[in-house]
Structure 1
Amino acid sequence: MKKNKFVLALISVTLLLIGTVDVQSNSQSVMAATQGYVKVKTKKKVRLYWVSGQHSNYYALPNRKYSYSSKSRIGKKHLSAYKIGNNAHWILAKDVKIVKKAKAVTYVKAQMVLPRGYNRAELLKAYEGHPSKGFIAASMQGMKANTFSRNHLAESKADNQTQVDLDNITPEQLMTLSDFSLRLINEARNNLGLKAWVDSAGTQKLAQAIATEYEQNGKTIKDGHYVPGIVRACQANGLNLNDNYVEDMAGFYNQKQTLSMTELKKSIYFGIKQMIFGYVGSGESDRGKRSYYQEWEHAGDLFNTQGSLHDGDYNYFGFSVSRTDDICSLHFISVPTYVVKDKKYNLSFKP
């Protein structure tokens, strides 16, 4: 089945509500677990910094308590600093004093659970454009019950501390994100009694080739699926496909080049959750509105439930990220097993 839908989650993870003198929370931002609180030592505002060690145009105010999520050394001069708020700003240790230590940090493993009433028979109706009221209600419950994208907890201390350069994601970091995505998809598939999708080196290579096509041609999720690039990437990787049969897509708006692993995981989690439950809102705030549940073509792909001869099958999976014009596109790439087995479609592709 051609994959011609996508999800755009315009969630800014770096937006400051007040521009030049303060740092405040953004309800749609991803916030790392609080380790403690600091205050400026003097009666004057002090400059804030980026993780690169360069100063920003923002300041911390005196007589105000700021939460911090980590302490580290930043920039070429290895300045000791605290990461404050939820906007990846750093305040130098020499400028502040600790006023309160937080309780022990709790970490949580992200999970994806399908609610009662979400089944393949109902999904197929929704995929065909006729969702029942009960299925929409189940989808709304699914958006509510799966909370990792909106809580402040990380999966691990390492995720909070690992900074990911979106323009230079390392192979190890990309594999971590791919494994995370596949784990969530397969947890949901298991809820429906479906076979697990399979991690695939060949599909991972294809996913990266597709991300490269987007970046080299200035395309993002806002442009929809970049079909010419997808076709070129498929054919270069030995798949004789003439349209988009492999990509599901989510994304988010982000002004910064660097995010923590926790922030990226939360954005990926939200994108997968949107696709499964047919939610088209740009953030969590509208998840209680029934009218925002409109599109289950992604779910049909993720659960191989499309009213075809290949329903119930499984796919080979890979994942990649592209970034253009402050928009991060998340490419969930899957190659159906029937395509891999068919010599008409598979010229030289090795999953």
Structure 2
Amino acid sequence: MKKKMMVTLLTSVCLMGPVGMLTQTHPQVVQAASKGKLRVKGNKKVRLYTNRGKKSKYYAYTSRTYSYSAKKYLKIGKKKHLAYKIGNNSHWILAKNAKLVKKTVERYSQAVIKLPSGYTRSELLEAYKGHPSEEFIAASMKGMEENNFSRVATGETASDKRLINPDKLSASEQHELADFSLRVINSAREQLGLEPWIYSTGTQELADDIANEYEEHGRSIKDQGHYVEGIVKACQKHGLELDDNYVEDMAGFTINKTTMPMGEMKRNVYFGLKQMIFGFAGSGEDERKNKSLYREWEHAGDLFNTQGSSHDGDHNYYGFSISKTGKIYSMHFISVPTFIVGSEKYNTNFRP
């Protein structure tokens, strides 16, 4: 029943767009409330006008998108022309020189794992033992394809846009990620007729101490193995007399930045869980169609308490933590089986 880890690393890429530059020939950024956005029509810069319909010294450029705060008709000569205000100093662009940018509606989606037909506990058990059927591999590949939250840029809600530091999570941020990961796990367990795992304070404290052991000793997922010594030490500190790793599954990612949107962090967590459930050993979404990379379901056996033992079908107490070593972030999915909690042999003082 030893827990395993995903030996592949996810890579989070920070895509930075070009920064808009202000020069003396550009209008200043509008300060009033924006009513919409527009771009210059055609491929040449266009002259802007003052509030009185006079030509200004400023231009609007095709490379930029402008917010406008008002529109009205300007009298230029003997004619009136519809115009949009795009600056805070009465810079107006004629409507004939502009094209409005359609508002995009951000679509959010809740993260769940849907198990395809053919993904059953009996098939999983054979895969856990190292003998996956062709049908089960096909179901796993379908699961990697159809469960696409890790490829959705928006996240679950607008609040997922806020920046977090994975190495310095607040208590509420850590609890949000623990709740998120547990919800994803239980969404899949329910489809297999399994009881849900339960978040517990004691297991969360254990998860935190395991993460601390990794950081204090410079260990990470990149070391191609669990830090068993640290895991055993943390377990015994919490009253669990275990001599090996029976509590940790692990995934990870690397980034070259210190902060990221909460939605990006959730996508990393989701992808790690998706890898485990569907036996995918690739390093990213781009490799998900490679059949040869579907070869390890020991994590799934852990997550679904399906390992060919007398304790199959049980449920666990759960906690989640993150450790950082260099630019590598290890995600620790910590679970303590109920039979261990109820065992006088293994549990001397652990309280979930």
Flag whether TM exceeds 0.5 (same fold). yes
Compute the TM-score of the two structures, normalised by the length of structure 1: 0.77
Aligned to 1:341: 342
Distance across 2 between alignment mates of 1:139 and 1:217: 36
Could you tell me whether the CA contact under 8 Å between 1:203 and 1:335 is conserved in 2?
yes
Distance across 2 between alignment mates of 1:177 and 1:255: 21
SS of 1:321's equivalent in the other structure is strand
With over 3 angstroms needed to count, the CA separation of the structure-2 counterparts of 1:43 and 1:215, relative to structure 1, is: farther
Alignment of 1:61-72 (within 5 A): 64=63
Compute the TM-score of the two structures, normalised by the length of structure 2: 0.77
Alignment of 1:278-293 (within 5 A): 278-293=279-294
With over 3 angstroms needed to count, the CA separation of the structure-2 counterparts of 1:204 and 1:66, relative to structure 1, is: farther
Please identify the structure whose Cα radius of gyration is greater: 2
Aligned to 1:133: 134
Aligned to 1:113: 114
Equivalent residues, number? 288
Could you tell me whether the CA contact under 8 Å between 2:279 and 2:294 is conserved in 1?
yes
Distance across 2 between alignment mates of 1:218 and 1:15: 29
With over 3 angstroms needed to count, the CA separation of the structure-2 counterparts of 1:40 and 1:297, relative to structure 1, is: same
Aligned to 2:193: 193
Task: Give the CA deviation at 1:107.
Answer: 1.4
Task: Give the CA deviation at 1:43.
Answer: 9.3
Task: Give the CA deviation at 1:105.
Answer: 1.8
Aligned to 1:202: 202
Distance across 1 between alignment mates of 2:22 and 2:107: 29
Could you tell me whether the CA contact under 8 Å between 2:249 and 2:299 is conserved in 1?
yes
Identity of aligned residues (%): 55
Post-superposition CA distance 1:277-314 (Å, at most 9, x none)? 00011110111111010100000000000000100000
Task: Give the CA deviation at 1:261.
Answer: 0.6
Task: Give the CA deviation at 1:39.
Answer: 5.1
Post-superposition CA distance 1:240-261 (Å, at most 9, x none)? 0111000000000111111111
Aligned to 1:142: 143
Task: Give the CA deviation at 1:13.
Answer: 2.6
With over 3 angstroms needed to count, the CA separation of the structure-2 counterparts of 1:257 and 1:66, relative to structure 1, is: farther
Distance across 2 between alignment mates of 1:327 and 1:65: 37
Could you tell me whether the CA contact under 8 Å between 2:249 and 2:334 is conserved in 1?
yes
Task: Give the CA deviation at 1:106.
Answer: 1.8
SS of 2:339's equivalent in the other structure is helix
Post-superposition CA distance 1:128-186 (Å, at most 9, x none)? 000000000000000000000012221111111x2211221111000000000000000
Distance across 1 between alignment mates of 2:188 and 2:102: 38
Aligned to 1:123: 124
Mark the runs of 5 or more structure 1 residues left unpaired by the alignment: 17-21, 24-37, 45-61, 68-97
Mark the runs of 5 or more structure 2 residues left unpaired by the alignment: 26-60, 67-98
Aligned to 1:319: 320
Aligned to 1:174: 174
After TM superposition, the runs of 4+ consecutive aligned structure 1 residues lying more than 3 A away are 38-44, 62-67, 98-102
Deviates more, 1:5-14 or 1:109-118: 5-14
Could you tell me whether the CA contact under 8 Å between 2:317 and 2:338 is conserved in 1?
yes
With over 3 angstroms needed to count, the CA separation of the structure-2 counterparts of 1:43 and 1:276, relative to structure 1, is: farther
Task: Give the CA deviation at 1:198.
Answer: 0.6
With over 3 angstroms needed to count, the CA separation of the structure-2 counterparts of 1:329 and 1:190, relative to structure 1, is: same
With over 3 angstroms needed to count, the CA separation of the structure-2 counterparts of 1:136 and 1:236, relative to structure 1, is: same
Aligned-CA RMSD value: 2.5
